[in-house]
Amino acid sequence: MNGKNNIAIGFLTMGLFMAYGFLLIYLRDFAPGKDEWANSYSLGKHFETRLAHVHGNLFAFLNILIGYLLLRFSDQLKNVKVISWLALSGLLMPIGILSEVYFGLPPVLVLVGAITMTGSVIWLGFAFLKMKAITQL
């Protein structure tokens, strides 16, 4: 795995979280009890679902970007597979938020996803610092 899966899974995840945004619009504007939902904007399930939507799309985009960079510079970077897996594992964060909201699970996946995504970004940053030179973009 050298970045291709990050790009593919990133786009698929982004599409799913974009579609999830339509559910949030429905809950806000059309569902029975929409007024209560809208009034709980910064509390409880409403807030948590918005966090999952935003972080799902952000982490999907980060996977697309990281995947592209890993593909493009795979011969010049070290630990490409580890960085790739860490970035993909970061998607556990928004999935973990949704599992908290809908299934009442503990926030373990949120923490694991946040730590692994942060680790992948920092590791990739150091990998680029250690790289000899970028021949051409």
**Of 43-52, 59-68, 85-94, minimum mean pLDDT range:** 43-52
In the block, which residue shows the tokens 């250690």? 130
Query: Which residues make Cβ contacts (< 8 Å) with residue 7, sequence separation at least 6?
Result: 63, 64, 67, 68, 71
Average pLDDT in the chain: 93
Q: Give the position of tokens 């799309």.
A: 57
Q: Residue 130 and residue 47: Cα distance in Å, rounded? A: 40
Domain assignment of residue 137, yes or no: no
Locus of tokens 């429905």: 26
> What pLDDT is recorded for position 42?
80
The answer to whether 53 and 14 have CB atoms below 8 angstroms apart is no
Structural domain contains residue 57? yes
pLDDT score for 3: 95
Give the pLDDT of residue 52: 95
pLDDT of residue 14: 98
Judged on CB neighbours under 10 Å (0-12, 13-18, 19+), 48 is: middle
CA distance linking residue 43 with residue 37, whole number of Å: 10
Report the number of distinct structural domains present in the chain.
Answer: 1
Is residue 135, in this structure, part of any structural domain at all? no
Q: 75 lies in a domain?
A: yes
| 137 vs 34, residue with greater confidence | 34
In-domain check, residue 15: yes
CB 93 within 8 A of CB 109: yes
Q: Does residue 45 belong to any structural domain of this protein?
A: yes
Supply the range of the domain harboring residue 104: 4-130
